[in-house]
């Protein structure tokens, strides 16, 4: 009887191992496929070859501070603005731009669909993939002229897509990488990150339309007061806000999001 039980337990353990290995293999395969797909986008768009300064790369890993020059200067703004967006739209006409954070590996085509769910499980070229795409809220104008422009992306376990946004819980990571750039055919726009925090999907963070200046101020106040890092930056009246939104993780409520917010600046 004991021998039979041991045999059953061993079989169960083996089956569990095989299942876990299959899940891991599938996940790694999807990661690799996504990498190839987005490398293709980089090649088509002829994005500039961004050389990450050694100290900035270290900060991305350890959270250590870097020099002022590595923090604020984006020597690639003009190159990103003159990317070949037409080549990208020949593959997918819903490509509206490109988003990147200088000093990090976050650099992706920006999509927009009438359905916010569409790119949750589709790469930029329409291929089914768990990494999905980086995409703009369907209610926003692709011109980036709204008071609050919202961009979504998955928090991938290998730190691709918006996976690295969680690092903004550390003020030293913000010091190293405070700028977000969004480029389209009209130009390249720089945004200075001023807040990072968890919030509910029903909060003012995700508001698009504002009836008056007080409602706009409520958005800014909510962000500054909720932020887990003190950047010392408070956007002024009429500022254009960029909201980067990603999930928290499978272990928490599905209506909670991690957001990083930035204000448009002229650098």
SS3 130: coil
Distance CA 236, CA 240 (A): 9
The separation between the first and the last C-alpha atoms of the chain, rounded to the nearest angstrom, is 76
Distance CA 122, CA 124 (A): 7
- The dihedral built from the CA positions of residue 152, 154, 158 and 160, taken in this order, carries a sign that is negative
Question: Does the active-site annotation cover 247?
Answer: yes
Strands (E), the chain: 95-100, 107-111, 134-136, 148-152, 179-184, 187-200, 241-247, 256-265
Q: For 231, what's the count of Cα atoms within 13 Å in the CB-facing half-sphere?
A: 29
Q: Single out the catalytic residue among 73, 171, 247, 248.
A: 247
Phi, psi dihedral angles at 67 (to 5 degrees): -70, 160
Q: What is the DSSP letter of 108?
A: E
Q: Please give the positions annotated as active site.
A: 247
């Amino acid at each position: 009887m004991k021998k039979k039980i041991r045999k059953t337990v061993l079989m169960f353990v083996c089956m569990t191992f095989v299942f876990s290995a299959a899940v891991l293999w599938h996940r790694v395969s999807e990661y690799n496929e996504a990498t190839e797909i987005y490398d293709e986008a980089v090649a088509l768009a002829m994005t500039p070859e961004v050389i990450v300064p050694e100290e900035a790369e270290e900060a991305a890993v350890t959270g250590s501070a870097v020099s002022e020059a590595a923090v604020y200067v984006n020597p690639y703004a003009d190159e990103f603005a003159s990317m070949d967006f037409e080549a990208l739209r020949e593959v997918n006409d819903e490509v509206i731009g490109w988003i990147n954070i200088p000093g990090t590996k976050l650099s992706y085509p920006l999509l927009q669909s009438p359905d916010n769910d569409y790119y949750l499980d589709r790469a930029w070229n329409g291929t089914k993939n768990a990494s999905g795409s980086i995409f703009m809220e369907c209610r926003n104008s692709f011109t980036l002229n709204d008071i609050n422009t919202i961009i979504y992306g998955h928090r991938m376990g290998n730190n691709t897509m918006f996976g690295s946004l969680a690092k903004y819980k550390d003020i030293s990571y913000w010091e190293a990488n405070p700028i977000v750039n969004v480029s389209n055919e009209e130009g390249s726009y720089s945004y200075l990150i001023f807040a990072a925090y968890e919030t509910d999907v029903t909060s003012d963070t995700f508001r698009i339309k504002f009836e008056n200046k007080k409602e706009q101020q409520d958005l800014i106040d909510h962000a500054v007061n909720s932020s887990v890092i003190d950047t010392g930056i408070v956007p002024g009246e009429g500022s254009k806000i960029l909201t980067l939104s990603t999930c928290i993780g499978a272990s928490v409520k599905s209506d909670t999001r991690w957001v990083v917010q930035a204000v448009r600046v002229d650098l």
